[in-house]
């Protein structure tokens, strides 16, 4: 496992720019999530590391070695696809042993390594099966074992859970997450599902329109989003206009003593629904629509100045209907400034 570094990568296809000025480092042993809407450049990023795209400009380094022009088969990267892409002409065991075979590992040893990996992934009993007879979850485990068998410099996972049903996804997420941690694998995890990235990754990079918007731990990304895009993409968020003045945030309808730096002036702040307590404060909010979701009830209310506010009506759903006015309080610690004028 090595540190992988993307240095000022640009990739264009004709007139279209897929990725621009991208600097990204995946530290040794780290799982870095790459999230963003479709077409944001996350797949291009993955394919650039794998070597299937040569960047128009910039460098790719594996442990300080420049591999920008090295072809994919010499990079020793593990790839796991959403569609599994198992070799149907080979047994499960042969699939897993394929990489070591290409590396010239002798027969008995590669067999042992494959068996060991299948055991690790809890699918040893499938060794002699044909891939097409397996379920989606089993195929994904085989795909992972196959990629790990070459002891890759970096493991690249391209939407590996998409297409699996919710329960299985949840289980695999936990299992694979702890397995990767245990093995100390360096991994890049591309997904459009920010929740999945939060659950599995040490750090997350948010891409939008070919540019890196923010990179940080899941907590940093969620609690201190760098800008409106990140705030809106990761979790649900209220973006409110505010006046900053030396540690106070004036939202118009309320003033909060939030911890901000000493900038002053117009700004946009983000407030998560979790940081809005319903029924305890002094801000009147009129409920405009709500959805009962079982564990919680999500609602959209209207503030006195007409701005909309997303909130959660935990346990209060029974009394609330459209048109009801509730009073809410905003936790000052949950307010993050994302944009100053």
Query: DSSP label at 234?
Result: S
Answer whether 73's CB lies under 8 Å from 150's CB.
no
- Closest distance between other proteins and the C-beta of residue 101, in Å? 9
Q: Report the nearest approach of other proteins to the CB of residue 51 (Å).
A: 6
- For residue 50, the minimal CB distance to other proteins (Å) is 6
Alpha helices in 24-165 (DSSP H): 42-50, 92-102, 107-120, 136-148
- Of residues 115-144, which lie at the interface with other proteins (CB under 8 A)? none
Measured from the CB of residue 242, what is the shortest distance to other proteins in angstroms? 47
Minimum CB–partner distance for residue 30 and other proteins (Å):
20
Binding to other proteins, residues 178-197 (CB under 8 A):
none
One character per residue 195-234, x = contact with other proteins (rule: CB under 8 A): ----------------------------------------
- Judged by CB under 8 A, the chain residues 72 through 91 that form the site for other proteins are 72-79, 81, 83, 85-89
Sequence-separated (6 or more) residues with CB below 8 Å from residue 261: none
The one among 65, 66, 103, 315 contacting other proteins by CB under 8 A: 103
Output the smallest distance, CB 31 to other proteins, in A: 18
Q: What is the largest CA-CA distance in the chain?
A: 74
Q: Which is nearer to other proteins, 190 or 198 (CB)?
A: 190
Of 149 and 337, the one with the shorter C-beta distance to other proteins is: 149
CA distance 210 to 34: 12
Q: Considering beta carbons, is residue 46 or 278 the nearer one to other proteins?
A: 46
Stretch that binds other proteins, among 95-103, 133-141, 179-187, 229-237 (CB under 8 A): 95-103
- Binding pattern to other proteins, positions 144-163, x when CB under 8 A? --xx-xx-----x-------
- Does 99 bind other proteins (CB under 8 A)? Our answer is yes
Helix and strand element counts for the chain (H, E): 8, 19
List, as one string, the DSSP characters of 168-224: HHHHHHHHHHHHHHHHT--EEEE-S-HHHHHHH-SEEEEEETTEEEEEE-HHHHHHS
For other proteins, which is the closer residue by CB, 156 or 249? Answer: 156
Q: Min. distance of Cβ 128 from other proteins in angstroms?
A: 18
Distance in angstroms (rounded) separating the CA atoms of residues 82 and 136: 10
* Shortest Å, Cβ 95 to other proteins: 9
| Number of residues that this document lists for the chain | 341
Contacts made by residues 40-45, CB under 8 angstroms, sequence distance 24+: 40/207, 40/208, 40/209, 40/210, 41/11, 41/207, 41/209, 41/210, 41/211, 42/190, 42/192, 42/207, 43/158, 43/190, 44/11, 44/18, 44/19, 45/6, 45/9, 45/19, 45/188, 45/190, 45/207
Q: How far is the CB of 127 from other proteins (least distance, A)?
A: 18
User: CB under 8 A: which stretch of 99-107, 120-128, 164-172, 181-189 binds other proteins?
Assistant: 99-107
Give every CB contact of residue 46 below 8 A, 6+ residues apart in sequence: 34, 156, 158, 188, 190
Residues that bind other proteins (CB under 8 A): 50-54, 69, 71-79, 81, 83, 85-89, 98-99, 102-103, 146-147, 149-150, 156
């Amino acid at each position: 496992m090595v540190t992988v570094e993307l240095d000022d990568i640009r990739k264009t296809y004709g007139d279209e720019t897929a990725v621009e000025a991208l600097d990204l480092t995946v530290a040794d042993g780290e799982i870095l999530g790459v999230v963003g809407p479709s077409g944001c450049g996350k797949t291009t990023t993955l394919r650039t590391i794998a070597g299937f795209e040569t960047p128009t400009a910039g460098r790719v380094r594996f442990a300080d070695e420049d591999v920008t022009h090295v072809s994919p088969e010499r990079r020793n990267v593990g790839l796991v696809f959403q569609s599994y892409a198992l070799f149907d002409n080979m047994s499960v065991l042969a699939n897993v042993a394929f990489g070591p075979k290409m590396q010239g590992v002798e027969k008995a040893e590669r067999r042992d390594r494959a068996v060991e990996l299948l055991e690790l992934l809890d699918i040893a009993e499938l060794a002699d099966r044909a891939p097409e007879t397996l379920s989606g979850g089993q195929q994904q485990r085989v795909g992972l074992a196959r990629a790990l068998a070459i002891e890759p410099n970096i493991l690249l996972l391209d939407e590996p859970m998409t297409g699996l049903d919710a329960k299985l996804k949840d289980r695999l997420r936990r299992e694979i997450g702890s397995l990767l941690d245990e093995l100390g694998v360096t991994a890049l995890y591309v997904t459009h599902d920010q929740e999945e990235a939060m659950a599995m990754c040490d750090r997350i990079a948010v891409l939008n329109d070919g540019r890196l918007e923010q990179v940080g731990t899941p907590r940093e990304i969620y609690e201190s989003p760098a800008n409106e895009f990140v705030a809106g993409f990761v979790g649900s968020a209220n973006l409110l206009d505010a006046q900053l003045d030396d540690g106070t945030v004036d939202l118009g309808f309320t003033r909060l003593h939030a911890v901000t730096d000493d900038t002053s002036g117009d700004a946009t702040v983000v407030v998560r629904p979790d940081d809005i307590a319903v029924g305890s404060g002094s801000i009147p909010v009129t409920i405009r629509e709500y959805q009962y979701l079982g564990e919680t009830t999500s609602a959209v209310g209207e503030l006195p100045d007409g701005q909309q506010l997303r909130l959660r009506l935990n346990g209060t759903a029974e009394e609330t209907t459209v048109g009801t006015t509730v009073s809410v309080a905003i936790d000052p610690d949950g307010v993050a400034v994302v944009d100053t004028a």
